[in-house]
A and B are shown apart, each in its own frame.
Chain A
Amino acid sequence: MLFNSFAFLGLCLITLFLYYLPLFSRAQVKLLIIASMLFYAYDQPALVVLLLLSAGINTGVSYWVLFGNATSKKALATLGVGLNLAILAFFKYSPLFARTFLPSGNDIGRFLLTIPLPIGISFFTFEGISLTIDLYKNKAFSQREGEGLTFTKHAERTLFFISFFPHLVAGPILKAHDFLPQISRKYFRNIEWEAAFKCLVVGYFLKMVVADNLKDFTLLLDFPYHQYYSSLTLLTMLFGYSIQIFADFAGYSAIALGLGKLFGYTLQENFNFPYISTSFKEFWKRWHISLSTFLLEYLYIPLGGNRKGRARTYLHLILTMFLGGLWHGAAWSYAIWGLCHGLALALEKLAGYDRPSQSTAIQLVRGLLVFIFVTLAWLLFKLPNFADVISFVRSVAKNSGALSTTRINSSILVYSLPVVIYHLYYVVRPRAAWRPVVRLEYIGYGLLLFLILVNSGNPGSFIYFQF
């Protein structure tokens, strides 16, 4: 179910109404679980079973980790992580395995290629891993909270943590130690209306006005269309895709945050104006924050982080980003994308460019270089087939496009402008001279709402749904 559909609006309003009714005050969590199941089942009803299975495994393992024999806790936690990874590997990477390692026509290969990719699996399996590890490390809740916990209660909380619909299919990836302590009775009077409103308006604007309009132009990056356009248009389209993917995913995340706030939950910020970054290190602190912090906490640090010498630090960085890239999709292009970012991070650290410079000019140049690199790397996202990437690069080099394209270029520039302004406003907002403008922010939000109403593009699914 798409956040920008009327079906979702209906589900959300009904759930919100019932949620705060005194009659359901003791069943708030159960109500949200039911709503989340309906949300997930809307497109793929059969795969709800998998979601329940994943939640069931995580409930069992994490409960034993909490209350089981002290000597077997580590083994159980390892088993929990392993089972989550096995589910992810089977459903997400089987087709890649078949394409890479098995001969075409092989029966097992043919079977593996038919395995459906359950929507949101990358997100809910990572949340399962977080639950197991956090409980193993006693990070998810206090000793006192843990003592009164029955298996049924734990199962309910786990299912809610994994399936809460605002984050279920495309994040932010929740961490058990952030979310579980928030589970309690919520009151209508405590809703942070203004914060929720801002998140929802910005989120829907980014998705419906920016991303959904840009997608109709950036689809021309695909093979064979890109062969018919000039280098300038192709590069403009790639710039447009860079803006689109931000607007699409940051928009989704902002909507998720806003929805969470309506139900009394604070989800982790997922984007913090990433395109103003002046280093790759900063970029990854601002882009898909819930994934980068997950990889940092549950992969980079356990690997040894920067505690095992410089060479190992670079290796850990590259490996973490390589696996992070592969997490995105079952194609080698995603892994290469991650590898590129890992190498950029390592080289940047090696050269000492990961710290901000005192000179504004140098900062600007670095910011531009980071943006150009990040934008070029998105090509591997847009065209997961390497042959298409090569064809695109050839088309840029050939500059043989014959089609008139001022319309495409103008459209991309106009629909990208809000994202550019959004980032620039973030930079100037804290300055004293901008205080009067900040006081009039409500006019800006009114304008965004107006544009959502009259200028939305044709609704498309969120890019990150495929991951």
Chain B
Amino acid sequence: MVVKALMVMGVIFALYAVFIAQVKPYWSISHHKEQQDNQIKAEKYLYDYRQEHGVVVGSSLSSHLGNLPGIYNLALDGLSSLDGLAIVMKQKSPPRTVLIEINFIDREENTSFTGLVNNPVLKPAKRLFMSMRADKQPLSVVVEQLQMTLDRLRAPFIIPDPAVPGSATSAQQASRYTELLTKQLERYAQAPAPGVFEQQLGKLRQAVSLLEQQGARVVFFEMPVDCRLDDSPRAKAVRVAFRQYFPQATYSYVPRPACAAYQTADGIHLDAQSVTKYSYFLQEQLAKHKR
């Protein structure tokens, strides 16, 4: 029985691996599953992307940045730049440019995530078998199909809600925004705990110096947030600490644009329009840095 079951598993796996390798299906799975999104992002970077180009590392604040030619967005939801760097640093060839988001550097590295991505057994297996990667999970495809069916069934019953100014929806959205912003104001009212923060900055300094030794160009940037948070004790403390550990005379920084020019969805995450706007701004600044 044991041998038969193992043989069945071998056959199914082989068939699935051949299917994935030959058909190379694009399954836009995940969303609402932070860890899986992060894993897919990391795996695409490790196995599909030419790593000698540039890379952005950061938190969910920069995870939706796009339109950066030759730069892979490895910013991870719920994590920090250090998690992205833990993946980048394990590569044989370092990227030419590394963009490091500074906003949430005080978050400790999620070693269970980086350990999984850098696992010495799984990493070569996933490189070899595309079918073992997170974006090729067969049950996720079933979920995708079920979701589309449910959405189709639901569609006739959904009443479009334009959220025009002055409408009930608009008022609801404004009240939710205030609620979310209040939570962020509480969070930003205090500077990061000194012990952990300094430890994280120390780790970052080590990683940056190693990258520079390998010829990488490191550029720091700060994602814009709501203006009421931009001037908060937390944001100020992060800036001061960065200037101490990475003096502006020695390290490259993307200049901080006026926060009023950007809109956020919850105080800290830019809305879709502003994310595009900031991506273009970042692109321009990188071009200047190159010159």
Q: Interface on A for B, CB 8 Å cutoff?
A: 6, 193-194, 197, 201, 209, 213, 216-217, 224, 402, 405-411, 413-415, 441-443, 445-447, 449-451, 453-455, 457-459
**Set of chain A residues within 8 Å of B132, measured between Cβ atoms:** 453-454
**Set of chain A residues within 8 Å of B119, measured between Cβ atoms:** 6
| Complex Cα gap A409–B140 (Å) | 13
Which residue of A201, A216, A408, A457 is within 8 Å of B5 (Cβ)? A201
Which residue of B8, B36, B143, B172 is within 8 Å of A446 (Cβ)? B8
9 contacts across the A-B interface (CB closer than 8 A): A217-B32, A405-B32, A407-B32, A409-B150, A410-B144, A442-B1, A450-B13, A454-B16, A459-B112
**Set of chain B residues within 8 Å of A216, measured between Cβ atoms:** 33-36
Q: B137 contacts the other chain (Cβ, under 8 Å)? A: yes
Contact status A406-B150, CB under 8 Å: yes
CB distance from B19 to the nearest CB of A (A): 12
Which residue of A197, A209, A407, A453 is within 8 Å of B31 (Cβ)? A407
- Closest residue to B31 on the A side, CB-wise? A407
Q: A406-B154, A446-B5, A455-B139 are in contact. Are A411 and B32 (CB under 8 A)?
A: yes
Contact status A450-B139, CB under 8 Å: no
Q: B239 contacts the other chain (Cβ, under 8 Å)? A: no
CB distance from A413 to the nearest CB of B (A): 7
Which residue of A6, A408, A453 is within 8 Å of B9 (Cβ)? A453
Which residue of B4, B36, B139 is within 8 Å of A451 (Cβ)? B139
Q: B146 contacts the other chain (Cβ, under 8 Å)? A: yes
| Complex Cα gap A402–B179 (Å) | 14
| Complex Cα gap A442–B32 (Å) | 35
- Closest residue to A197 on the B side, CB-wise? B2
Contact status A194-B2, CB under 8 Å: yes
**Set of chain B residues within 8 Å of A407, measured between Cβ atoms:** 31-32, 143, 147
Q: B18 contacts the other chain (Cβ, under 8 Å)? A: no
Which residue of A6, A446, A458 is within 8 Å of B12 (Cβ)? A446
Contact status B32-A447, CB under 8 Å: no
**Set of chain A residues within 8 Å of B144, measured between Cβ atoms:** 410
| Complex Cα gap A457–B112 (Å) | 13
| Complex Cα gap A201–B4 (Å) | 14
Interface string of B245-266 (1 = CB under 8 A from A): 0000000000000000000000
- Closest residue to B142 on the A side, CB-wise? A414
Which residue of B13, B143, B146, B147 is within 8 Å of A454 (Cβ)? B13
Which residue of B16, B146, B151 is within 8 Å of A413 (Cβ)? B146
**Set of chain A residues within 8 Å of B7, measured between Cβ atoms:** 446
| Complex Cα gap A44–B248 (Å) | 42
Within 8 A of A (CB), among B117-148: 119, 121, 131-132, 136-140, 142-144, 146-147
| Complex Cα gap A402–B119 (Å) | 38
Q: Most chain-A CB neighbours within 10 Å: which of B8, B11, B144, B150?
A: B8
**Set of chain B residues within 8 Å of A447, measured between Cβ atoms:** 8-9, 12
Contact status B1-A449, CB under 8 Å: no
**Set of chain A residues within 8 Å of B2, measured between Cβ atoms:** 193-194, 197
Q: B113 contacts the other chain (Cβ, under 8 Å)? A: yes
Q: A216-B35, A406-B154 are in contact. Are A453 and B139 (CB under 8 A)?
A: no
**Set of chain B residues within 8 Å of A402, measured between Cβ atoms:** 172, 176
Which residue of B6, B113, B150 is within 8 Å of A410 (Cβ)? B150
| Complex Cα gap A455–B150 (Å) | 23
**Set of chain B residues within 8 Å of A449, measured between Cβ atoms:** 5-6, 8-9
**Set of chain B residues within 8 Å of A451, measured between Cβ atoms:** 138-139
Within 8 A of A (CB), among B9-40: 9, 11-13, 16, 31-36, 39
Q: B116 contacts the other chain (Cβ, under 8 Å)? A: yes
Contact status B33-A453, CB under 8 Å: no
Q: B203 contacts the other chain (Cβ, under 8 Å)? A: no
**Set of chain A residues within 8 Å of B9, measured between Cβ atoms:** 445-447, 449-450, 453
**Set of chain A residues within 8 Å of B1, measured between Cβ atoms:** 194, 197, 441-442, 445
Q: A194-B2, A443-B8, A454-B132 are in contact. Are A410 and B172 (CB under 8 A)?
A: no
Contact status B139-A213, CB under 8 Å: yes
**Set of chain B residues within 8 Å of A443, measured between Cβ atoms:** 5, 8
| Complex Cα gap A447–B172 (Å) | 48
Which residue of A445, A455, A458 is within 8 Å of B35 (Cβ)? A458
Contact status A414-B6, CB under 8 Å: no
Which residue of B39, B138, B172, B183 is within 8 Å of A455 (Cβ)? B138
CB distance from A422 to the nearest CB of B (A): 15
Contact status B150-A450, CB under 8 Å: no
Within 8 A of A (CB), among B46-89: none
Contact status B183-A224, CB under 8 Å: yes
- Closest residue to B30 on the A side, CB-wise? A407
Q: Most chain-A CB neighbours within 10 Å: which of B2, B36, B151?
A: B2
Which residue of A213, A410, A459 is within 8 Å of B147 (Cβ)? A410
**Set of chain A residues within 8 Å of B39, measured between Cβ atoms:** 458
| Complex Cα gap A242–B12 (Å) | 30
Which residue of B116, B147, B154 is within 8 Å of A458 (Cβ)? B116
| Complex Cα gap A413–B137 (Å) | 16
| Complex Cα gap A459–B116 (Å) | 9
| Complex Cα gap A201–B139 (Å) | 18
Within 8 A of A (CB), among B158-202: 172, 176, 183
**Set of chain A residues within 8 Å of B138, measured between Cβ atoms:** 451, 454-455
- Closest residue to B129 on the A side, CB-wise? A454
